[in-house]
Amino acid sequence: MSGEMAVPSRSRKKLDIVDGGLMIGRHVVIEGTGTPPSVKVSGTIYCEGDDTFECNVSARSLEAEDDVTIKGDLEVENNVEVEDGHLVVRGRMNAKRVDVDATLYVTGDLAVEGVDVGGSLKVDGNVTAGNIDVGGSFKAVGEVEARKIDVGGSVLIESTADISDLNVGGTAKVGGGKIAEVDIGGSFESRASLTFERINVGGVVRLASKCKGGSVNVGGVFKVDGDLEFKDVNVGGKVVITGLAEGNGMDVGGKVEVSKSLNLSGNLEVGGKASVDEKLHARNIEVGGVLRTREAIAEDCVEVGGAITTEDGVTARCVEIGRRGTVHGLIRADEVVIGKDAHAEDIYGKRVFLERGAQVENIYGENITIESDCVIKGEVQYTNELKIDRNVSLVNEPQKVAKLASRPSRTPTVPARRKQCPNCGTDSQDDAIFCKRCGKKLPEE
């Protein structure tokens, strides 16, 4: 059969090869020949709409004004365009460019250079594409390989993905893989290991297994069920990592929870609470509220506004605890500042400064300064200089030593006794060694 062919509306036609174009009216059924049944059109297929092909179809182009269903494979050399309807392909689909106003559903694999769907795109097989642009939702059961995906609503990729740029207005879920740029307005989830360069999500991110990537910027919650290697993490709300975390820097407005170790070459900044079950290492550690970890190590400074709780202590160049804060565990640092009315246990450092009203167990340092109203429950050892204001409670007399012990040992508190200064007559605290007014040593009773 040769030449251009027209098939009238509401008819059924059996075709083999059409040399030229094929014009089809409305509500037409086209049958093919051969095994499997097929129709080959050398030109363009034009459908008025609500047409069905009960066979494989190949053509140079396909144009339709309304719905088209193809019960087989669709092979188009150039473009597919459906203006106001749906396109259903119950098989594989290959084309250069696809433009469908409503819905595109492909039960097999989809291979296109570009696809633009106004409503929803669903593919039961694998997807290979350059650009995918969908106004509503995109769902793929198989693997997806694409340069760029831009979806207004939601994306669900049940298998792995290899995407350069994923941009979704609502939510996106993938089965792992590799996505260079992730930009999601709502939430993003990867159900298996993911490699990425940048994640930018307005709401919630959930990653699984062992993930590796660059920068993470999340407005709400960032959760990783496994290990994470990253460059920088910036989260407005909460970070939860159940495995090992390693990267450059982490800045979190609310809370951080890491089930194993957190190793940073840069800084950790947390507005609320930071909890690391094993070791925490960073250049600087700054926590507004509470820091809890087995061991904290900072190359430069540790600054905590509320409380520090460790098993193996805090080691840094500088450690500073805020006003009315508490420290449970050893502090080792060149410079230690215990804020006003704060509480600490053992301190081991070169320069130790206790602000007014602070209470500590033991102090071991080169140069020690203790402001008024402080309480030292254990011992004070120094190698160079000790400055003590008035009204400081000392259970034991400070000792100047040639060399500090390598690790401080806790000294039991002696029973308190009431004393009066023979120099000025002032009553001192019951357990004081020095007078709170004149600073003179009180006699033992």
Domain membership of residue 241 (yes or no) is: no
Is residue 237, in this structure, part of any structural domain at all? no
Yes or no: say if 259 and 276 are a contact pair by the CB < 8 Å rule.
Answer: no
Residue 428 reports pLDDT greater than 70: no
Residue with tokens 């140079």: 60
Does position 256 have pLDDT exceeding 70, yes or no? yes
Please state which of the ranges 52-66, 111-125, 425-439 shows the lowest mean pLDDT.
425-439
Decide if 247 is inside a domain: no
Number of domains in the chain: 1
- Model confidence at 410, in pLDDT bands (50, 70, 90)? very low
* Residue 440 scores a pLDDT above 60: no
Q: Is residue 99 assigned to a domain?
A: yes
Mean pLDDT of 132-145: 98
Q: Is residue 75 part of a domain?
A: yes
Structural domain harbouring 53: 1-108
- Residue 406, pLDDT score: 64
Cα separations in angstroms, 277 against 242, 274, 293, 424: 10, 10, 5, 53
- Per-residue pLDDT, averaged over 17-25, amounts to 96
Q: Is the pTM of this model over 0.75?
A: yes
Question: Which residue type does 205 have?
Answer: V
User: According to the model, what pLDDT value does residue 414 have?
Assistant: 34
The Cα–Cα gap between 155 and 177 comes to 15
Tokens at 368, concatenated = 């020690």
Percent pLDDT > 70 in the chain is 91
User: How large is the average pLDDT for residues 338-357?
Assistant: 97
In a domain, 12, yes or no: yes
Q: Is residue 289 part of a domain?
A: no
Give yes or no for residue 413 having a pLDDT over 90: no
**Mean pLDDT of the chain, nearest integer:** 93
Does some domain include residue 43? yes
Range name among 299-303, 428-432, 438-442 with the lowest pLDDT average: 428-432
- Mean pLDDT over 421-439 rounds to 58
Average pLDDT on 333-360 reads 97
- Residue 420: the pLDDT is 67
